[in-house]
Structure 1
């Protein structure tokens, strides 16, 4: 056990000074949207007692004994959670062989090891779904006085989703071209083996999931932006999604639905059907960015299907 925690400490150090080298491509899906940012009420506040390193804390994460968390196809142990005051989270799998690492704010040239941010966590129930929510309030950046970041991490029980909710934020200008979001699972061994990894490139409003060395967003996510990574293995899901280069947003949509793809998806057919099977749009992808007018559609659930007889992806979109 001591060796395992030494490995975890080494991983924390790697997260703080590097971006872990070349990473393997993995299957996942990204959703980008917006929603009201509400601070947690009556949440459990993490103790200020520091553990081993000045910028990380260890706390008992089982706020509900029967909360089951599964990410990237692996069951997580919510009894022991390591959380950094600058925003990252580590969680060991129940089999003890892997560790999940999530960092909602990775930035070069910005030091965020300030210990003044307040961390709290809570089980939230929304529309019948349970979420394990961790909140960081006023993460300070030591490179610029008065700069701060507010964010929440929502882990969906049974859904294998990771949601990044961004709140009121003021970051240094130098961070706007050097920041990203990372989520991955590593095998615990004498050396860390990256098994599954996702990150973001592009802009905050038009993100592009990538498995490159280091994902960079040219704009920092603003207040009320939400990113959702569906981390399950697509071969085990009811809906089979395309590669990580496809993103559809905003979701929910009110007026225009924006579809972004890589050049390899140009020319593929696209169709949209309502929940009752009525086809409301059909055509082919003609560019890497496509806008589809949803303003005249009735509220409800829609299915966006992209691909041909060999490759197909189905996305759920809510009109409201």
Structure 2
């Protein structure tokens, strides 16, 4: 993916991928805009600063009727990387996932993560706010603010970026490192569609382009799971990233999953991949930017993947069956 996204910097490539987008059907339409940022008031706190949190997850519920990929969501799990897991079950599997403004945040004095629900029944908006959070490996005075908005009724998703100050070079991560800056969505594993991967480019100068990206055959997006962008500059204050369900789209076509569980998540030295059947195939681990880091054959229904050579961060595990089906899951290396 990194190779392909880098190629988008040429005008000819931008044009060709934009044409590809017009000919395909996507589960969500993406747009970028700007809007003044407003902090939440009367919010409910999920995590309070000065608790020393890092790589932390919290379960909670929201009193709205919301669907993700056509599926009702009754419970949520937030993590301190900036995202939300729908329906708790996916805490173990790592998919689907709402990325938010996704990187490795950590506790600093005054940091809070909270939520608020506003509006009338049927058209309420749930907002999850990351307020004055710091960065793992960042400067001591670095901070960021952003919110995830979930719209009842339309099932629209928005990311709103607030005031931030980040030391230059914070996201100039080494090749293969898991500490990256990502914005987007991870679809449910096993999604089947005509175009394998689609996303948008975050330029280093803060400009954004709405561009379809076809899959790099060696990358992790081969089963239409990812809609994301990434870059090395934190989005500017007032940025709004919007993901809307296209008119007439009620759900995403799915195929049966072969992976029953991956655990533990977060993991330290080893990840266990549990399959429903021993169908052979390959297990690959990718960086969040699409570089293949590990690869091993499937040896049975229970497979151990060593993570000892990986840095702390977020990664993607892909299972490819001998018949060509692919499933991709997100996991955290502690």
Question: What is the TM-score of this pair, normalised by structure 1?
Answer: 0.52
Taking the aligned partners of 1:69 and 1:169, their CA distance within structure 2 comes to: 29
**Matched residues, number:** 197
1:202 aligns with 2:197: no
Show the counterpart of 1:61: 61
Contact map agreement 2:77 2:84 (CA 8 A) in 1: yes
Alpha-carbon distance, 1:184 to partner = 1.8
Taking the aligned partners of 1:152 and 1:236, their CA distance within structure 2 comes to: 26
Show the counterpart of 1:171: 166
After superposition, the CA RMSD in angstroms is 3.7
Show the counterpart of 2:98: 102
- After superposition, the Cα gap between the structure-2 partners of 1:34 and 1:132, relative to the gap in structure 1 and judged at 3 Å, is same
Alpha-carbon distance, 1:83 to partner = 1.0
Show the counterpart of 1:182: 184
Show the counterpart of 2:69: 72
Summarize deviations over 1:102-142 as a string: whole Å, max 9, x none.
222345xxx4344763111111228x831111000012013
1:82 aligns with 2:77: yes
Contact map agreement 2:82 2:130 (CA 8 A) in 1: yes
Show the counterpart of 1:134: 128
Contact map agreement 1:55 1:115 (CA 8 A) in 2: no
Question: Which runs of 5 or more structure 2 residues have no equivalent in the other structure?
Answer: 1-24, 173-179, 220-227, 251-334
Taking the aligned partners of 2:90 and 2:106, their CA distance within structure 1 comes to: 31
Matches within 5 A, 1:264-275: none
Contact map agreement 2:101 2:181 (CA 8 A) in 1: yes
Question: What is the TM-score of this pair, normalised by structure 2?
Answer: 0.50
Secondary structure in structure 2 of the residue aligned to 1:186: coil
Summarize deviations over 1:144-167 as a string: whole Å, max 9, x none.
221111000000112121100000
Matches within 5 A, 1:13-32: 26-32=26-32
Alpha-carbon distance, 1:216 to partner = 2.3
Contact map agreement 2:78 2:84 (CA 8 A) in 1: yes
Contact map agreement 1:92 1:100 (CA 8 A) in 2: no
Contact map agreement 1:27 1:233 (CA 8 A) in 2: yes
Summarize deviations over 1:69-114 as a string: whole Å, max 9, x none.
0122221123xx211223121112899999531222345xxx4344
Secondary structure in structure 2 of the residue aligned to 1:46: strand
Show the counterpart of 1:112: 105
Question: Which runs of 5 or more structure 1 residues have no equivalent in the other structure?
Answer: 1-24, 188-192, 238-320
- After superposition, the Cα gap between the structure-2 partners of 1:72 and 1:209, relative to the gap in structure 1 and judged at 3 Å, is farther
Structure 1 range deviating more: 32-41 or 97-106: 97-106
Contact map agreement 1:149 1:168 (CA 8 A) in 2: yes
Alpha-carbon distance, 1:175 to partner = 4.3
Show the counterpart of 2:240: 226
Higher strand share: 1
Contact map agreement 2:85 2:94 (CA 8 A) in 1: no
Matches within 5 A, 1:293-308: none
Secondary structure in structure 2 of the residue aligned to 1:40: coil
Contact map agreement 2:74 2:87 (CA 8 A) in 1: yes
